[in-house]
Amino acid sequence: MRYLPLSDADRSAMLATVGAGSIDELFRDVPESARLSGPIAGLPSHASELAVERHMTALSRKNTPAGEVPFFLGCGAYKHHIPASVDHLIQRGEYLTAYTPYQPEIAQGTLQVLFEFQSQVARLLGCEVANASMYDGSTACWEAIGMARRITRRTKAVISSGLHPHYVSVCKTMARFTGDTLDTALPELTAETDAERLIAAIDRETSAVVVQYPDILGRITDLQPIADAAHAAGALLIAVVTEPVALGAIRAPGEMGADIVVGEGQSIGVGLQFGGPYVGLFACREKHVRQMPGRIAGETVDAEGKRGFVLTLSTREQHIRREKATSNICTNSGLCALAFSIHMTLLGEKGLRSLAALNHARAVEVAERLAAIPGVRLVNDSFFNEFTLELPVEARPAVHAMVERGVLGGVSLGRLYPGVDSLKNGLVVAVTETVTDEDVNALEAALKEVVV
């Protein structure tokens, strides 16, 4: 077995050192009845690297990669170009095969990266501080609601109808077990967001208002009035960003009064990967840092006075506080945070703004062209790189019909909101810098055919 260095001679010599006659003696605590006498029946035996690669490659070929077709899917995961150096760097063994930096003297690489990541994320989201990442945007969103509960000691969260429905599902799952009440609603195919409903729903029981920015339909809403209303009632504003590239073009939620800003960082440096692993972004006001979940890297000095970094504020965490911890989270999404940070360093302010401008300009152009198709209506007044079309037909079959024409044309709201009649004609189309003229022509032609 190519991954197991011990030879049979080694094994014999080591068993002798241990004083065991056979390997079975080392498993003697396992009751005889529970011990398997040989390999588990019905499972294949070991395979060569070549054979495994062939098998996996064959499986991979049954999928349609985004890069091989005109591709317009978004709704929480976005296709962007990732510079080649990002993947090269994250495959360095010193990053890839390191563990959580519990021994800071020999983990300064990871720790400094996390400190830089936190600093980038805080600035991008417009907050004072950020943590070292969460599993993904949806779990970060739930953790933010829990954090707001701890800070306000209230249990009602008012959720915008523009929050990704899968995020809402995650929050509902958790709320069922923690006793939080969630005030939710379905979105409507209008240019207006539900800011007014949110403001009206805030009361003295409200822990937080949760608003996605841009929202699931791609709409952009001014968060300041919502923040003001929340603060007036002693509640917090949680903003959720699923497309961080947007923040190169639009104001940061933290600038508009959001107290906690969470997000999905996949868009920057992390590929689509069928939904994971991704990287949850989590930022907040400095005064709330001790209620923040997750790992945090902080600056300090070593015994010689040199600057260095450590994991800090760990008295919030499960390995110290056990059942009193702010969260049960034990890991972050380290390697994805590294990829995010490297890509963000390559972009810098200038690159991010250019990338955002490019995304937006293309989306504007594509929206205008598609809205000109007879029967197709553009729902949005405002959007970044993603907008919603109302088709004259159900969008879900239209998406499948476009697949037959070789186009991945968007995400149907029927997929995201099954059974909701008022949304079934909605199609969310994302347009990033990866989209070519030919892709747009193909989408336009396919959509024309499937809406008649």
Partner 1 sequence: MTINQSGWKPATPVAGPGDTGTTTGNRALMLEEPLIFEIGDSDTTGVDFSAPAQAGAQSSFDRAEEGTGPLPSQGHKLGTLARTAEIGLPGLTEPETVRHYTRLSRQNYAIDLGLFPLGSCTMKHNPRLNEKVARLPGFADIHPLQPRETVQGALEVINELAFWLIDLTGMHGVAMSPKAGAHGELCGLLCIRAALEARGDAREVVLVPESAHGTNPATAAFCGYRVESIPTNDAGRVDLEALQARLGPDVAAVMITNPNTCGLFEPDMKAISDAVHAAGGFVYCDGANFNAIVGKVRPGDLGIDAMHINLHKTFSTPHGGGGPGSGPVVLSKEISHFMPLPYVSRTADGIVHLIEEEQADEFSEEHFGGVMQSFGRMTAFHGQMGMFTRALAYILSHGADGLAQVAEDAVLNANYLLRSLEDVLDAPFAGSGPCMHEAIFSDAGFANGITTLDLAKALIDEGFHPMTMYFPLVVHGAMLVEPTETESKAALDQFIAALRSIAERARAGDENLKSAPVHAPRRRLDETLAARKPVIAYRTPAPDGADLPTPSPVGDR
- Interaction with partner 1 in 336-365: which residues (CB under 8 A)? 336, 338, 342, 344-358, 360-365
Bridge partner residues of 239 (DSSP): 211, 261
83 binds partner 1 (CB under 8 A): yes
> In terms of DSSP bridges, do strands 411-412 and 426-430 run parallel, antiparallel, or are they unpaired?
antiparallel
103 binds partner 1 (CB under 8 A): yes
372 binds partner 1 (CB under 8 A): no
196 binds partner 1 (CB under 8 A): no
Distances (CA, A) of 417 to 167, 169, 216, 318, 390: 12, 11, 11, 36, 15
Q: Cα 312 from chain centroid?
A: 24
Burial of 443: CB neighbours in 10 Å, binned 0-12, 13-18, 19+: buried
Which one of the spans 45-53, 198-206, 233-241, 442-450 is the region binding partner 1 (CB under 8 A)?
A: 45-53
Q: Cα 210 from chain centroid?
A: 16
**Dist. CA 138–CA 143, nearest whole Å:** 9
Q: Which of 209, 230, 240, 329 binds partner 1 (CB under 8 A)?
A: 329
Q: Which of 153, 323, 374, 421 binds partner 1 (CB under 8 A)?
A: 323
444 binds partner 1 (CB under 8 A): no
Which residue matches tokens 């990338």? 355
161 and 211 Cβ atoms separated by less than 8 Å: no
Q: How many residues bind partner 1 (CB under 8 A)?
A: 221
At closest approach, how far in Å is the CB of 64 from partner 1? 4
Q: Which of 245, 271, 389, 395 binds partner 1 (CB under 8 A)?
A: 271
93 and 335 Cβ atoms separated by less than 8 Å: no
80 binds partner 1 (CB under 8 A): no
Q: Which of 70, 133, 386, 391 binds partner 1 (CB under 8 A)?
A: 133
452 binds partner 1 (CB under 8 A): no
Which one of the spans 85-93, 197-205, 232-240, 442-450 is the region binding partner 1 (CB under 8 A)?
A: 85-93
Angle at alpha carbon of residue 325, lines to 321 and 327, rounded to 5°:
145
Q: Which of 70, 136, 202, 217 binds partner 1 (CB under 8 A)?
A: 136
Going across the sheet that includes 377-378, the strands are: 377-378, 386-390, 426-430, 411-412
Phi, psi of 426 (to 5 degrees): -85, 135
List the interface residues with partner 1, window 201-230 (CB under 8 A). Answer: 220, 222
Instruction: Name the residue nearer to partner 1 (CB basis): 10 or 449.
Output: 10
351 and 326 Cβ atoms separated by less than 8 Å: no
Torsion of CA 148, 150, 153, 156, to 10 degrees: 40
62 binds partner 1 (CB under 8 A): yes
187 binds partner 1 (CB under 8 A): no
Distances (CA, A) of 348 to 344, 386, 422: 6, 23, 42
Q: Which of 79, 154, 156, 424 binds partner 1 (CB under 8 A)?
A: 79
At closest approach, how far in Å is the CB of 422 from partner 1? 16
Q: Which of 88, 192, 232, 375 binds partner 1 (CB under 8 A)?
A: 88
**Dist. CA 258–CA 237, nearest whole Å:** 5
394 binds partner 1 (CB under 8 A): no
8 binds partner 1 (CB under 8 A): no
Q: Which of 65, 196, 200, 392 binds partner 1 (CB under 8 A)?
A: 65
Which one of the spans 136-144, 199-207, 228-236, 443-451 is the region binding partner 1 (CB under 8 A)?
A: 136-144
Residue type, 194: D
Which one of the spans 123-131, 154-162, 195-203, 225-233 is the region binding partner 1 (CB under 8 A)?
A: 123-131
Token duo for residue 304: 């010689």
Q: Cα 65 from chain centroid?
A: 20
89 binds partner 1 (CB under 8 A): yes
At closest approach, how far in Å is the CB of 93 from partner 1? 3
List the interface residues with partner 1, window 273-312 (CB under 8 A). Answer: 273-277, 279, 286-291, 295-306, 308-310, 312
Helix (H, G, I), strand (E, B) or coil at 149: helix
Which residue matches tokens 């929202």? 215
405 binds partner 1 (CB under 8 A): no
2 binds partner 1 (CB under 8 A): yes
389 binds partner 1 (CB under 8 A): no
